[in-house]
A and B are shown apart, each in its own frame.
Chain A
Amino acid sequence: MALDEIKIGGMGASRRRVEDNRFIRGKGNYVDDIVLQGMLHMEILRSPMAHARIKSIDVSKAYEIPGVRLVLTGEMMAARNLAWMPTLSYDTQAVLATDKVRFQGQEVAAVIADDPYIAKDACQAIVVEYEALPVIVNPLQAMASDATVIRDDKENQPGNKVFDWEIGDREATDKAFAEADVISKMELHYPRSHPSPMETCGSIADFNRATGKLTVYMTSQAPHIVRAAVAMVAELPEHMIRIVSPDLGGGFGNKVPIYPGYVISILASILTERPVKWIEDKTGNLISTGFGRDVYLKGEMALRKDGKILGMRMNTISDHGAFYADAQPSKFKIGLMHSTFACYDLPAAHLTSTGYYTNKAPGGVAYRCSFRVTEAMFFQERMIHAAADDLGMDQAEFRRMNLVKDDMFPYRTAFGFLTDSGQYEKCLNVGMEAIGYSTFKQEQEEARKRGKLLGIGISTMTEPLGAGNSREYDILGIKMFDSAELRVHMTGKAILRTGAMNQGQGHQTTWAQIVAHELGIPADDITVEEGDTDTAPFGMGTYASRSTPVAGAAVAMVSRKIRAKARKIAAHLLEVSEEDIEWELGRFYVRSNKERGVTIQDCALAAYSNMPDGMEPGLENNAYYDPPNLTWPFAAYFVKVEVDAETGVWDVLNVVAVDDCGVRINPMIVEGQIMGGLTEAYAMASMQYITFDEEGNCIGSNYMDYLLPTAWETPGFELHEVVTPCPHHPIGAKGVGECATVAGPAAFVNAVVNAVSHTGVRNIDMPMMPNRVYEALTTGKDVSGMPPVRISD
């Protein structure tokens, strides 16, 4: 009899997360939990200035403090050719500043001492003399013809420009605009934010001079990429480098880049011949590591009177901080910004993008999104909202008219992506029904009579996940495939390793469910391991919702390889030919006699004890999966709000989220991911941003200034599902970790703008803090985020 898939924790089982047991009991193993014999502690001295020439650094007072072992400066790094390192976007970044500091919080010196208290005391004893330089805090200042060149360390650097980039069909788009009845415009700023994982970044470098081996325990979402990078930068042989990412306390893209602290700790260990631990403090994390967003977006849409979209053009100006350290596929300078409008049937589109250096922290990481798609989809849904209003059309009906229809797949988007499946209209209908869309207008009018301002906002989108296929996606030349290795033990238990890197997504739980689905081995019988480059197969790591689309597919594929071998063993055990064998979950049987069969566990034992003549013993294999295409989940979100006209405070009344992420492996984990993402969307819309004053001081360097919502203000969410399996993924999954952070913010903003639209307001930049909403209400004018930047026409 076939096994009950839910009982063995297979696909569709809301199996409890196996990792939670140790996390809840405080038995996790994070970098800071690791203690090595003779370990020293490192602390980084950071620049208080955003832009300054370093005139001198005096470390003598630091050396006077007992317990100080080593003080490193840029000069000492430079002597070893380590003052600068490459970024993931083909730029360079200072490890320890030599000539100048270029943002507040930049690494200036490092102290290695017997304990972290001494290291901190010694940092305070270092005397650095700075000579202030003009500070540039936004692209408008950066692009001025007389602007100070921030990156004067680079030859042939054209002013402060990082790149110019364009994609799409300019001519076809111009033509669409020439034929338009109505042209709708939108201009906004997606503010800078920080992923702010609960655990900061850190490392323990342990160089053993006797064996020549370097082991680094570190907080990385992509340990294999780090190993390759360390091999190149530190000129150590790759087999002598072992990177271990233990449990990670969240990542959200913040732990993809390689940070100066890691590199300094490695050199410190080589010089002291002792393990060196570096654990960044919260402020260090917030002011110096990879931020997200900070893009000025502007665009217009060509429309026919009846509501049909004819074309769209868009321009982005992005602020990359002092070093271009975006983590993204190398072909695309502004990530996958051109995935914008992918869910709409849009005949023509064109995008131009320019990036600038400023005196702010570097980064531009994909904060819980697939490389800038958050900005792309936010702009899309704000533009769509404005266009519907300009046409006097209903928000839902305008979307319905322009969404790609079910029978149009595979659909080639105006920017060249291929979307492959979906039921967009169905998702829209499910959401409208759940939020009570049909009666809302009446509700809104009645509330207005009572002096209450209600608003409703919709956001619909499909986003590209699972980068990528090797034709188009690489990071530093390494193609973006992923891997899995499965070893089935004699008793039918197994260990699975992948090249992905869990940081809260629940890989230990879900990967085992995929194996259970493919092989019928109970999920509880499978150990899942990731993050140790000495044991795990090479993979590109976890970000951009790529784990299930890529590594998850590799897990299914390696399981199938195992099953194919087990089938041969089963034929041998059952003494029939392979063709006469059938498979049901967990068991092979003889087609003509279903009673005669062997379990997968029987086959596992035989693989070690009774294999057919000539067969290689053992039951293990690996799979490298190069996805044929990206995956495209769809989301339709609805938010209802009430705005207090006297204070600008807005309350969320209702959130409905309809997600189609294809087949759901563990529905409970999927729902957890969506709720987490919606919380971050609400955060972005309401409070979470990092800003700077004119001197480049970071406002948001601690949690009193950088606001994250708590359980108190986060609204409740009502979740719905639609399932359209991905046609090319082995188990039909599409990825879901980031849909809600990407599509969510626009739903909140659209709702608040809808509530105040009677005043003529078309846009309020995030975060929509009460004072901004109040300003919009009382002036009837759009409220733009600070600092003001005009985007050239």
Chain B
Amino acid sequence: MYPSRFGYESPKTVEEAIAILDASGGEAKILAGGQSLVPMLKLRFAAPEMLVDINNIDGLRYINVEADGTVRIGALTRHEDLEYSDVLPTASPVLAAAAHLVADPIVRTRGTFVGSVCHADPQGDWAAAMTALGGHIVAQGPNGKRTIEVKDFVVGPFQNALAYNEIAIEAVIPAPKGKSTGSYLKLERRVGDFATASVAVSLDMVGDVVARAGSALAGVGGRTIDATDAVASLVGQKLTEENIKTAAEAVAAAAEPRSDHRGTSDYKRQIVKTFVIRILTGLAESSQKAA
């Protein structure tokens, strides 16, 4: 790999890192897992003057579930930490379902959850999962911390809302209204492939009634697609074959796929619809079983 020439700093604290970013005046880039940034350096699509490697900062690798169910994920938490987490299957089934579908096992040992959201790839899985969950990002800069909702954080393809001197230090999934359920399905051509179409559906359930519904899509548009409005009709309802179908069609309509060698736009919409039906039908069956 022969990237352009760059400088390298390896700070030990978040404050130090922010100071370096601040001094660089926008010419520096944060290096987390490097699984998106390094390929771009290799292809010379990115040629930053300076890399600020945050991997030596202690205390940023964690998944914390608070008493009310809020989930906090630190900036250096790797994809595999989510994949093998004991707490996520109950605390956030959507994240648990997505974790083993992100990239391949090798990439998952290095790539970070927060780095993926920051990278804002329209085909990225974590930004979609976070959007469906109504999550937010905690950013820290020279003037302290601020909280940004993921749907405002991802401002476009490969663009996030951070200032050049801010670091995303944590991702937060708010406490569910009831029980957190949901799932994530992805059509990929092989392990390690980005999504042809991915669907995240998150439902907070009180008994067998939907208390909150969120959905988002990856791979079927020029950005992460927030399809939460499309599933809003489920709130206050029990899941039925009929409202599942209505929601699935609404989500499919929210997709903005393009025809390419992975399939026509109609095909991709069909996949979205099928996946929504599969997720919701699965949830309906298990909530019936529980009841």
A and B form one complex = yes
Q: Is B156 interfacial (CB 8 A cutoff)? A: no
Shortest CB-to-CB span from A680 to chain B, Å, is 14
Given contacts A691-B261, A771-B262, contact A712 B2 (CB under 8 A): no
- A124: which B residues are within 8 A, CB to CB? 44
Q: Is B24 interfacial (CB 8 A cutoff)? A: no
Q: Is B282 interfacial (CB 8 A cutoff)? A: no
Contact with A along B185-221 (1 / 0, CB 8 A): 0010111111010000000000000000000000000
- B2: which A residues are within 8 A, CB to CB? 43, 116-117, 120, 281
Shortest CB-to-CB span from B109 to chain A, Å, is 15
Q: Is A272 interfacial (CB 8 A cutoff)? A: no
Pair A769/B104 contact, Cβ less than 8 Å: no
- B1-35 contacts to A, CB under 8 A, are 2, 4-5
Q: Is A687 interfacial (CB 8 A cutoff)? A: yes
Which of A71-79, A178-186, A555-563, A703-711 lies at the interface? A703-711
- B274: which A residues are within 8 A, CB to CB? 646-647
Given contacts A646-B274, A769-B263, contact A710 B187 (CB under 8 A): no
Pair B190/A770 contact, Cβ less than 8 Å: no
Pair A709/B190 contact, Cβ less than 8 Å: yes
Complex Cα–Cα for A646 and B271 (A): 8
Contact with B along A106-130 (1 / 0, CB 8 A): 0000000000110011001000000
Complex Cα–Cα for A458 and B192 (A): 30
Contact with B along A620-652 (1 / 0, CB 8 A): 000000000000000000000000001111000
Shortest CB-to-CB span from A780 to chain B, Å, is 16
Pair A770/B5 contact, Cβ less than 8 Å: no
- B44: which A residues are within 8 A, CB to CB? 124
Shortest CB-to-CB span from B259 to chain A, Å, is 10
Q: Is A671 interfacial (CB 8 A cutoff)? A: no
- B187: which A residues are within 8 A, CB to CB? 647, 649, 770
Complex Cα–Cα for A106 and B254 (A): 42
Pair B270/A774 contact, Cβ less than 8 Å: yes
Pair B267/A707 contact, Cβ less than 8 Å: no
Complex Cα–Cα for A687 and B188 (A): 11
- B270: which A residues are within 8 A, CB to CB? 646, 774
Pair A769/B189 contact, Cβ less than 8 Å: yes
Q: Is A699 interfacial (CB 8 A cutoff)? A: yes
Pair A770/B263 contact, Cβ less than 8 Å: yes
Pair A771/B190 contact, Cβ less than 8 Å: no
A124 and chain B: residue at smallest CB distance: B44
Q: Is A775 interfacial (CB 8 A cutoff)? A: yes
Contact with A along B70-108 (1 / 0, CB 8 A): 000000000000000000000000000000000010000
Cross-interface CB contact of B104 among A43, A707, A710, cutoff 8 Å: A710
Shortest CB-to-CB span from B257 to chain A, Å, is 11
Given contacts A117-B2, A646-B274, contact A710 B262 (CB under 8 A): no
Q: Is A713 interfacial (CB 8 A cutoff)? A: yes
Q: Is A786 interfacial (CB 8 A cutoff)? A: yes
Q: Is B147 interfacial (CB 8 A cutoff)? A: no
Complex Cα–Cα for A121 and B267 (A): 43
A700 and chain B: residue at smallest CB distance: B261
- A691: which B residues are within 8 A, CB to CB? 261
Shortest CB-to-CB span from A612 to chain B, Å, is 63
Pair A775/B267 contact, Cβ less than 8 Å: yes
Cross-interface CB contact of A687 among B189, B194, B264, cutoff 8 Å: B189
Pair A713/B261 contact, Cβ less than 8 Å: no
Complex Cα–Cα for A686 and B190 (A): 9
Complex Cα–Cα for A48 and B222 (A): 25
Q: How many A-B residue pairs have CB under 8 A?
A: 56
Complex Cα–Cα for A124 and B43 (A): 12
- A776-790 contacts to B, CB under 8 A, are 786
- B30-54 contacts to A, CB under 8 A, are 43-44
Pair B267/A774 contact, Cβ less than 8 Å: yes
- B193: which A residues are within 8 A, CB to CB? 704, 707
- A774: which B residues are within 8 A, CB to CB? 263, 267, 270
Complex Cα–Cα for A177 and B190 (A): 44
Pair B5/A707 contact, Cβ less than 8 Å: no
Shortest CB-to-CB span from B100 to chain A, Å, is 10
Pair A707/B191 contact, Cβ less than 8 Å: no
Pair A647/B271 contact, Cβ less than 8 Å: yes
Complex Cα–Cα for A203 and B191 (A): 33
Pair B264/A707 contact, Cβ less than 8 Å: no
Shortest CB-to-CB span from A453 to chain B, Å, is 15
Pair A771/B267 contact, Cβ less than 8 Å: yes
Given contacts A649-B187, A713-B190, contact A786 B261 (CB under 8 A): yes
Pair B261/A699 contact, Cβ less than 8 Å: yes
B197 and chain A: residue at smallest CB distance: A647
Shortest CB-to-CB span from B45 to chain A, Å, is 12
A767 and chain B: residue at smallest CB distance: B189
A281 and chain B: residue at smallest CB distance: B2
A772 and chain B: residue at smallest CB distance: B263
B44, B193, B194: which has the most chain A beta carbons within 10 Å?
A: B193
Complex Cα–Cα for A133 and B104 (A): 41
- B271: which A residues are within 8 A, CB to CB? 647
Contact with A along B226-264 (1 / 0, CB 8 A): 000000000000000000000000000000000001111
Known: A117-B5, A281-B2. 19 other contacts (CB 8 A): A120-B2, A121-B4, A647-B271, A648-B267, A649-B187, A686-B190, A702-B43, A704-B193, A707-B190, A709-B190, A710-B190, A710-B192, A769-B263, A770-B189, A771-B264, A771-B267, A774-B267, A775-B264, A775-B267
Q: Which residues of A contact B (CB under 8 A)?
A: 43, 116-117, 120-121, 124, 281, 646-649, 686-687, 691, 699, 702, 704, 707-710, 712-713, 769-771, 774-775, 786
Sample 7 A-B pairs with CB under 8 A, ordered by A number: A281-B2, A686-B190, A708-B190, A709-B190, A710-B192, A771-B267, A786-B261
In the A-B complex, the 8 residue pairs with the closest CB atoms:
A771-B263, A712-B191, A120-B2, A646-B274, A771-B267, A117-B2, A713-B190, A710-B191
